[in-house]
Amino acid sequence: MPAYHYPPDVANALRQQWPAHGHALPAPEVLTDLINVAYQASLLQEESRPVLAHLVLVPDSYIRYGAHQSPNYQLLGFTQPRPYHEQELRRLSPTVQRPGHLLAVSSNPAGELAIWGMVLTVRPWDYAHEPANPASLPPVLFVQVYGAGNLAFFCGIEQVLVLQNGRLAGPSQPAFPVAWIKGHFDEAAPLQGATDTVYLARQLAQHTARRMLTQAREAGHGGMVVLVPSANAAALVRPQGLLQPKYGLQANDLGTRYLTVLTRLAERSQQLGLDSWAAYRLSADGLLQTLHAELENFADLLAGLMTVDGALVLNKQFDVLGFGVEIHAPGFAANQVYRALDPEATRLQAEAADSGGTRHRAAYRLCHAEAACLVMVVSQDGGVKFVRQQQGQVVFWEQSPV
């Protein structure tokens, strides 16, 4: 029988795995109460929508007057603290669905938890999958409620523990392992110029895809996106092709505009001397932030198209070739796919090709039929699966839904 974990188990595991440099966690019974209420809230709905929320466990004095006082935070303190229970989290959840918006929770000397206000960060806090400056956030406990029964726990930007479908897991793998993305974002990056510019452009392309997947996941619908090579896109995406769009698009300048913004961001970063992704994310340059917001608006548009039934199909320059796309790829005789057990896909585990849902089986068939495609599938529970062909085998790698 599978072993399920309950709030006391989660609290105990979190204490065991909490980093030594982290701000001290509360007493076991207080930590258990914090987790229990967040878990119960995750099972509720707010006006027919799932409860999604971000919390930070920190006294107001720690940020206001402590060593981590920073212009990166804006505090909205309530005139009267609100009780920390699941119904209050449900009511307040629409205000803290974005990673930069957090409900601030603390405990009084009696160990009673209360919501004292909100913390708004200049930058989204949950960049555990990207290079970042560890000092950009205090090493306190952040909690993400990302689905029914699903919680993630962070020490500052560092992911510590995940509760997914009643089971505990360690921190998730990087969102885009190098072995999986190699060659898939090069067409989307301006590859002329200094090495730092090329690196940053690739990071921006990956960030666009990451935001698209995150927004689609938070919509709670699930979806699929297919990246195809630009050279043979016309042969693949057509009424009689492997990819048959219900909503085909006329020639448009979305991809051109995306590349223009990407190039301008890379050039501006070079002008500012930003030589790393962390430096880029922490920059307060007005033009850079305006261009970055345009890039994220583009990613949000892709996320919306992705949640329409069918697949969103892009070439590797992020031109939108169609959405609501049906995959007409035949099955394959082996009837077997392989789960990657590490980010480099050097260790594989065979699984039946029909073990996944409809989207996953379609992704397997497509990658078997067309080796150059990369497929990303978002499940309704928030999991993300990357599928590709490797040495004649269909291989997938699964990411925790955080």
- Closest Cα to residue 162, out of 140, 178, 177, 147? 147
Per residue in 75-91, pLDDT (tens digit) is 888 999 999 999 999 99
Structure tokens at 247: 């909503």
Predicted local distance difference test score (pLDDT) of residue 112: 92
Predicted local distance difference test score (pLDDT) of residue 83: 95
Q: Which runs of E-coded beta strand occur in 175-230?
A: 223-228
Per residue in 329-355, pLDDT (tens digit) is 888 877 899 988 776 778 888 988 887
DSSP 93: G
CATH number 3.40.1700 is the correct assignment for the domain at 7-169: yes
Structure tokens at 225: 């996106």
Predicted local distance difference test score (pLDDT) of residue 217: 75
In the chain, CATH 3.40.1700.10 covers: 178-399
Q: Is 393 exposed, middle or buried (0-12, 13-18, 19+ CB in 10 A)?
A: middle
Whole-angstrom Cα distance, residue 292 to residue 203?
Answer: 12
3-class SS of residue 120: strand
What is the C-alpha R_g of the chain? 22
Report yes or no: 145 and 53 within 8 Å, Cβ to Cβ: yes
**Can you say how many angstroms the Cα of residue 173 is from the centroid of all Cα atoms in its chain?**
11
Predicted local distance difference test score (pLDDT) of residue 53: 93
Report yes or no: 164 and 153 within 8 Å, Cβ to Cβ: no
Give the homologous superfamily in CATH for domain 178-399: DNA integrity scanning protein, DisA, N-terminal domain (3.40.1700.10)
Structure tokens at 206: 């990956």
Per residue in 183-201, pLDDT (tens digit) is 666 555 454 555 556 777 7
Per residue in 243-260, pLDDT (tens digit) is 998 888 776 677 778 888
Which residues in the chain land under pLDDT 70? 1-3, 60-72, 122-137, 169-197, 220, 251-252, 278, 343, 381-382, 400-402
Write down how long the chain is: 402
φ, ψ dihedrals at 172, nearest 5°: -70, 160
Predicted local distance difference test score (pLDDT) of residue 116: 92
What b/e readout covers 271-295, taking b as 16+ CB neighbours within 10 angstroms? eeebbbbbbbbebeeeebeebbeeb
3-class SS of residue 240: coil
Residue percentage of the chain with pLDDT more than 90: 30
Structure tokens at 350: 């065979």
Predicted local distance difference test score (pLDDT) of residue 273: 87
Q: Is the dihedral of CA 364, 366, 370, 373 positive or negative?
A: negative
Predicted model pTM: 0.62
